[in-house]
């Protein structure tokens, strides 16, 4: 069981609690908190993209369930801004502790639970999740207590200020909202981290008809609070943590990701030359993952200066961007660094801390602000079809990966919407068994109307202003892998001939053949069909 770490006669936690009346809330044995959690409770956690999440109490809950054989008997409804660490939600899923989960997740066991029908999951646009939660949309069927509250919120903080306000750590997510709506609050103060005070800009979200425009026009504008107020009567415990975020080192840049990055860099250079972008571009947004990380690394080595970032998550290669002097400021809701990346951050804290703002995800992902600052969005999907429809969530049309995340608001509202993906992915029997360019996407998260640019290591398709048939030709020609290019072109041309004869040739498809890539993959382990 996790215990408070003492240094001499005074614990580290005392130095982080500036409101001394709250010292009486400090709990050294977290086992006494277990009875506050009951089967069917609605539980919310701070954290976003696997950082800044509570660990001590969720791990203690999992230990309790495992020790006492309560798997499937103590199931909680879990609400987090995005994903948290595998030692928390993924272990909960392994122990059958999750009934419902919203709106984004990550982990082998939780993904299996969702796809096996054991966990009821729904993804949602991250920009609207917090306000929908406050409005009671996710607690309509709550069988006990208020229909507009969470039973318990668990958050990680790095300091409590003199007035009792909470300073989060490496992420904000929906922390401000769950502090407002929780009946009970448990705060884990992570004393292994420096205080992040000054890094955050948090806002209390007003619901319609009282909502107002967010007064932000630049990525470094501040409109909120460095620490978020909380009703001290709701705090049932404060626990010390020294557990790190369970992040990992991303995959190294390879030829594929380098090729994608180079294609994007060359496109942006061309846009500057044509006068469609300023020399310092527009604020960059990047999704998460190894490809996105490599793309940002490529941009950091490109011929661009005085850049800014408006995004959800800042990853390791952003530090390179800061260090070479090309990136001036970044706004996000989460810092998701690898362990070496976090060490680099903390070792150079004074250099980085004034170049970053962390906001509520309702602000970092707000459609209003994405459109106003004019983002260049860069996101990695599962697949793209020949007309520019994008699948970010469900492989084979049915199998959930992680969830929509923030890709929807950025791809719909950015000045330039770019999706980048390898042209193929391997199967067990074929290194190019899955084509990421398909005739008809098996699931559609982002329509053809939201996408401007599609990029693979093969090339780049600029589909702005093109009719569907024109789009399909340039996507196939520029982005498809050579193994699939003739197959896709044959599908397009035969579909067009058939549909034109029937006076339905705007966006030609053959519905009896459109999903043959997937049936062939299921039957033969590859999308390489012999014939249509």
Annotated catalytic residues are 312
Residues in a beta bridge with 150: 182
Residue with structure tokens 């048939």? 469
Which of 107, 216, 128, 210 lies closest to 174 in space, CA to CA? 128
> What angle do helix axes 290-300 and 316-323 make, rounded to 10 degrees?
10
Phi/psi of residue 239, each to 5°?
Answer: -125, 140
In the chain, the N- to C-terminal Cα span, in Å, equals 61
Q: Is the peptide bond before 209 cis (omega within 30 degrees of 0)?
A: yes
Q: Are strands 434-435 and 424-425 parallel, antiparallel or unpaired?
A: antiparallel
DSSP label at residue 331: E
Radius of gyration of the CA atoms of the chain, in A? 24
Give the distance, in angstroms, between the CA of residue 47 and the centroid of all CA atoms in the same chain.
11
CA dist., res. 415 & res. 371, Å (int): 7
Q: Are strands 327-332 and 356-359 parallel, antiparallel or unpaired?
A: parallel
Phi/psi of residue 181, each to 5°?
Answer: -105, 0
Residues in a beta bridge with 399: 395
CA dist., res. 198 & res. 301, Å (int): 30
What's the burial of 410, exposed, middle or buried (CB within 10 Å: 0-12/13-18/19+)? buried
Q: Is 37 helix (H, G, I), strand (E, B) or coil?
A: coil
CA dist., res. 177 & res. 98, Å (int): 21
Q: How far is CA 101 from CA 38, 76, 121, 146, in A?
A: 16, 9, 5, 19
CA dist., res. 399 & res. 308, Å (int): 36
CA dist., res. 182 & res. 145, Å (int): 11
Q: Is-contact 361 332, C-beta < 8 A? A: no
Q: Are strands 42-45 and 376-379 parallel, antiparallel or unpaired?
A: unpaired
CA dist., res. 365 & res. 326, Å (int): 24
Which of 383, 371, 465 lies closest to 409 in space, CA to CA? 371
Q: Is-contact 156 169, C-beta < 8 A? A: yes
What's the burial of 233, exposed, middle or buried (CB within 10 Å: 0-12/13-18/19+)? exposed
Q: Is-contact 190 242, C-beta < 8 A? A: yes
């Amino acid at each position: 069981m996790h215990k408070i770490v003492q240094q001499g006669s005074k614990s580290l936690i005392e130095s982080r609690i500036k409101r001394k009346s709250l010292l009486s809330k400090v709990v050294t044995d977290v086992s006494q908190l277990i009875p506050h959690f009951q089967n069917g409770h609605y539980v919310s956690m701070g954290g976003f993209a696997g950082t800044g999440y509570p660990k001590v109490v969720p791990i203690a809950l999992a230990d309790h369930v495992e020790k006492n054989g309560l798997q499937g008997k103590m199931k909680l409804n879990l609400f987090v801004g995005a994903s948290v660490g595998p030692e928390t939600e993924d272990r909960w899923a392994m122990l059958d502790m999750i009934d419902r989960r919203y709106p984004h997740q990550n982990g082998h066991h939780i993904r299996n639970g969702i796809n096996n029908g054991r966990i009821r999951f729904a993804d949602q646009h991250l920009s609207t999740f917090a306000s929908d939660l406050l409005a009671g949309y996710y607690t309509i069927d709550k069988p006990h207590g208020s229909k507009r509250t969470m039973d318990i919120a668990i958050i990680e903080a790095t300091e409590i200020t003199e007035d009792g306000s909470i300073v989060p750590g490496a992420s904000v997510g929906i922390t401000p909202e769950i502090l407002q709506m929780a009946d009970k609050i448990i705060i884990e103060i992570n004393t292994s981290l420096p205080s992040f005070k000054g890094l955050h800009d948090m806002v209390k979200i007003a619901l319609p008809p009282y909502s107002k425009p967010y007064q932000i026009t630049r990525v470094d504008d501040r409109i909120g609070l460095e620490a978020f107020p909380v009703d001290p009567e709701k705090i049932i415990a404060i626990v010390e943590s020294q557990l790190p975020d369970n992040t990992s080192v991303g995959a190294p840049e390879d030829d594929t990701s380098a090729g994608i990055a180079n294609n994007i860099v060359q496109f942006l250079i061309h846009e500057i030359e044509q006068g469609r972008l300023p020399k310092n571009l527009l604020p960059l947004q990047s999704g998460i993952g190894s490809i996105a990380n490599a793309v940002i690394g490529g941009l950091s080595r490109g011929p661009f200066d005085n850049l800014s970032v408006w995004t959800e998550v800042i990853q390791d290669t952003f530090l390179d961007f800061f260090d070479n002097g090309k990136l001036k400021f970044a706004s996000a809701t989460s810092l998701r660094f690898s362990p070496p990346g976090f060490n680099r951050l903390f070792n150079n804290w004074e250099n980085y801390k004034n170049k970053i703002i962390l906001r509520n995800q309702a602000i970092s992902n707000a459609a209003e602000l994405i459109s106003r600052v004019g983002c260049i969005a860069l996101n990695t999907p599962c697949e793209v079809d020949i007309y520019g429809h994008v699948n970010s969530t469900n492989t084979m049309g049915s199998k959930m990966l992680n969830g929509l995340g923030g890709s929807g608001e950025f791809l719909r509202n950015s000045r330039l919407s770019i999706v980048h993906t390898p042209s193929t992915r391997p199967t067990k029997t074929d290194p190019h068994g899955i084509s990421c360019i398909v005739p008809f996407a098996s699931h559609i998260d982002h329509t053809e109307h939201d996408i401007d640019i599609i990029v693979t290591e093969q090339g780049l398709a600029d589909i702005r202003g093109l009719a569907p048939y024109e789009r399909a030709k340039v996507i196939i020609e520029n982005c498809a892998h050579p193994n699939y290019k003739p197959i896709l072109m044959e599908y397009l041309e035969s579909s067009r001939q058939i549909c034109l004869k029937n006076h339905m040739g705007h966006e030609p498809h053959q519905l009896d053949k459109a999903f043959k890539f997937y049936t062939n993959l299921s039957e033969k382990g590859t999308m390489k069909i012999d014939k249509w």
